[in-house]
Structure 1
């Protein structure tokens, strides 16, 4: 199986989505990462792996400077319990380490829920390997995964 960036690029191409992979130094914060990439912190989208009570997962796409609103996400998904798995479970569920996770090329195609703020702009996200970011059109990202789009976040 191809690793990291190759999986991202191959899956994006299969889905008809243009992805631009950019090498970047490690960053100690969201603001530092945004400065290194020449973008606003809100243009960085974290892909969070969320564990459902039934043992399945979903991807939550969360813009920088925002955090999951557990109440909003539980209401949207229609469950009482959701949680963030530990790093080893996230790796097992996606094939990616934390900090590199993206729905593109995930070893399992979990459902995607995108915060409404992802739409209508270019975003940077995990690229499957440390030291890289993937730039993608938010609307194309949403279409590629038939993502549910909703207000699922609150300011950090």
Structure 2
């Protein structure tokens, strides 16, 4: 089934960043975890990164990009942000702020620019995969290119 251009695809095209989009065959009728997505696409779970929208105790939002094979270290991210604690943002708030549905949130092309943190493990790979902005669409991109595109920071947050 053909889909229109996602905000992430448009962002890359309009801003001249380099990356490759690819479809990952996943069942559309159920919730698929990042690990299941990696398996379905034949991708190394350490190279497939999930995009999480988090909220600090002061109400400010941020983006955390961590490997599918690991969990977000909330205390480490709170230190990076300068907050006492962080939690995952409420679904409605995340969807409204980013313009993306849960499970298809790309770090690129979000409605509102948020501080972005990429787990330091990304440095160990020439390219990583992040959501392309639609369920089953992944973007292969160099970590440095992703950091430039998001104006993000590398940090040990997983």
TM (norm. structure 2) is 0.85
Question: What is the rounded CA distance, in whole Å, between the counterparts of 2:99 and 2:115 in structure 1?
Answer: 16
Matched residue, 1:91? 95
Aligned mate of 2:109, from 96, 105, 109? 105
Question: What is the rounded CA distance, in whole Å, between the counterparts of 1:100 and 1:126 in structure 2?
Answer: 6
Q: Which runs of 5+ in 2 are unaligned?
A: none
CA contact (8 A) 1:125 1:133 kept: yes
- Displacement after TM superposition at 1:51 (Å): 0.9
TM (norm. structure 1) is 0.86
- Displacement after TM superposition at 1:81 (Å): 2.4
- Displacement after TM superposition at 1:143 (Å): 1.9
CA contact (8 A) 2:75 2:85 kept: no
Query: How large is the Cα RMSD of the aligned pairs?
Result: 1.9
Matches within 5 A, 1:45-64: 45-64=49-68
After the TM superposition, which segments of 4 or more aligned residues of structure 1 sit over 6 Å from their partners? none
Question: What is the rounded CA distance, in whole Å, between the counterparts of 2:24 and 2:75 in structure 1?
Answer: 34
Matched residue, 1:14? 14
Q: Which runs of 5+ in 1 are unaligned?
A: none
Q: CA 1:6–1:60 in 2, change beyond 3 Å: closer, same or farther?
A: same
CA contact (8 A) 2:34 2:50 kept: no
CA contact (8 A) 2:46 2:68 kept: yes
SS for the counterpart of 2:46 is helix
Query: Between Structure 1 and Structure 2, which shows a larger proportion of strand residues?
Result: 1
- Displacement after TM superposition at 1:5 (Å): 4.1
